[in-house]
A and B are shown apart, each in its own frame.
Chain A
Amino acid sequence: MRTVTVVGASLSGVYAARELRAQGFDGRLVIVGEEPHHPYDRPPLSKDFLTGKADEEQLALTDSEEVAELDAEWLLGVRARGLDARGRTVLLGDGRTVSTDGVVIATGASARRLPGDALTGVHTLRTLDDARALRDELSDGPRRVVVIGGGFIGAETASSCTALGHDVTVVEAAPLPLVPQLGPEMAAVCATLHRRGGAALVTGTGVARLHAGAGAGGVTGATRVTGVGGVTGVELSDGRLLPADTVIVGIGATPNTGWLAGSTLGLHDGVLCDDGCATGLPQVVAVGDVARVGGRRVEHWTSATEQPRVAVRNLLAGRTVEPVRSVPYFWSDQYGARIQFAGRRNDGDTVRVTEGALAEGGFLAVYERDGRATAVLSVDRPRPFMRARRALMRTASEAEPAVP
């Protein structure tokens, strides 16, 4: 292979570029990234960056020494808008094309939006630009903040907003947030963190529309508002109106596969890959949030850093010689508590607390099925969590090959 193009210049793209060089690829390396910024890390955006504890410099994923070593052509601020049927040409948004022998798709995901969310004061939180805008707005004195969506990013953002002294309400459509991830018992425990941290949690009701202030012609159906006037409130589907100066929409993310529409790749909630990150074209692999590896797509930092080693190995080999074997892991920091989760929980797994207590001071909980541990959750118990996570990793590597 003489040229490899990495599309997406963020976490998994940078790890893929590193792996290409580490595994001996000495040809032309092109990295295409839609954002104008140098690669940065996203998890702090909802945590220490929002509260001001971390600055932009601390988000950097690379330094000048590494950039020199990678010896890549960085095309930043340029979007890839297509991949030809053979997977040999990447079309760029500015009309240029890159002829290539191999492609790593690392285009990640975008924040899902709400119809009519172009109002001033309505934010999503996925990119550095998003976080800058939100941070600026939150530094203007106390505000009434409504966070739509009680998932991890919503909860972290709400936590950061309360830490900054704002009046925060989290709205969650389901009866309880995080049930799909944690199961009902542990989701209930995590929900109490909001109240303990001083945020209000409203569950079991969706959002009917956003209300806008003067300039938008008063109250307007959200779907019809087009970016005039500021947001003044969130109307819930049960009729309640929550006044708001700032609204943060945290309702999940969708994989960035739009640019691949004209390619021959299988796309279905992500780029379809085998368990070694290889797509239908042997010289095209996909990694990170955009990749559906062996039937599963996850949006975890650790998967985005682990998949590239295997994907690059398979890319350079021209076929899948190694599957991704790992136990999914993520963490979340909210209201001063650190949540860590590893494994694959399924509905119906039982869960029991094996260390500490739910009420205070942190705990470790193990999910089980047929007497075997499937997953482990900890709140402020990093040491026993590490032991339990390693035990899961051992069993996974002994059992059949596992995927991300």
Chain B
Amino acid sequence: MITVCRLEDLPMGESVRIDTTPPIAVFNADGELYAVDDTCTHQDASLSEGWLEGCLVECPLHAASFDLRTGKPTCLPARRPVRTHRVSVEDGVVHVHLTIEEGTAA
């Protein structure tokens, strides 16, 4: 579990990038919190810098769009999903629970 920030520091429409390896982006999409791997699966861009609209984020480099609920791209040029991670809020603090990749020993 990774502590991200206080909930009030992540207002609606905003995002933060956590410098883990690989980095993770956490979004507040109209009050719902989502976390995904920050690096676009197309080339090298940070999704936390992207354009958030509903639960879709558009990559700032070539405009691939990802559904934050599933991590799946909704249009080209990305073809592969980004990993999603569970987010929880306890006592006003946002936490991310890393999804361990399938096949790797936890």
Contacts and interface: CB of A to CB of B under 8 A. Distances in A.
B51 A386 contact: yes
Report whether over half of chain B's contact residues are helix, strand or loop; otherwise say mixed: loop
A301 interface: yes
Interface in B53-91: 58, 60-63, 76-77, 79
Contacts of A301: 62
Contacts of B98: none
B43 interface: yes
A305 interface: yes
Contacts of A2: none
B79 A48 contact: no
Contacts of A302: 62-63
A386 B60 contact: yes
B5 interface: no
Contacts, number: 29
A383 B49 CA distance: 5
A390 interface: yes
Given A63-B79, A305-B77, A382 B45 contact: yes
A255 interface: no
B44 interface: yes
Given A63-B79, A382-B45, A382-B46, A390 B51 contact: yes
Contacts of B45: 382
B79 A382 contact: no
Contacts of A382: 45-46, 49, 60-61
A302 B62 CA distance: 7
A401 B58 CA distance: 25
Nearest to A44: B43
Contacts of B49: 382-383, 386
A331 interface: yes
B51 A331 contact: no
Interface residues of A, number: 16
What is the size category of the interface that chain B forms with chain A?
10 to 19
Interface in A270-328: 301-302, 305
A302 B61 CA distance: 10
A247 to B, nearest CB: 28
B9 to A, nearest CB: 17
Nearest to A60: B79
Interface in A33-63: 43-44, 48, 54, 63
Contacts of A48: 43-44
A19 B26 CA distance: 34
A63 B80 CA distance: 11
A363 interface: no
Interface of A: 18, 43-44, 48, 54, 63, 301-302, 305, 331, 333, 382-383, 385-386, 390
12 contacts: A48-B43, A63-B79, A301-B62, A305-B76, A305-B77, A331-B61, A333-B44, A382-B45, A382-B46, A385-B60, A386-B58, A390-B51
Question: Closest 9 interchain pairs by CB?
Answer: A382-B60, A382-B49, A383-B49, A386-B51, A386-B60, A331-B61, A63-B79, A44-B43, A48-B44
Given A301-B62, A305-B62, A382-B61, 10 more contacts: A43-B43, A48-B44, A63-B79, A302-B63, A305-B76, A331-B61, A382-B45, A383-B49, A386-B58, A386-B60
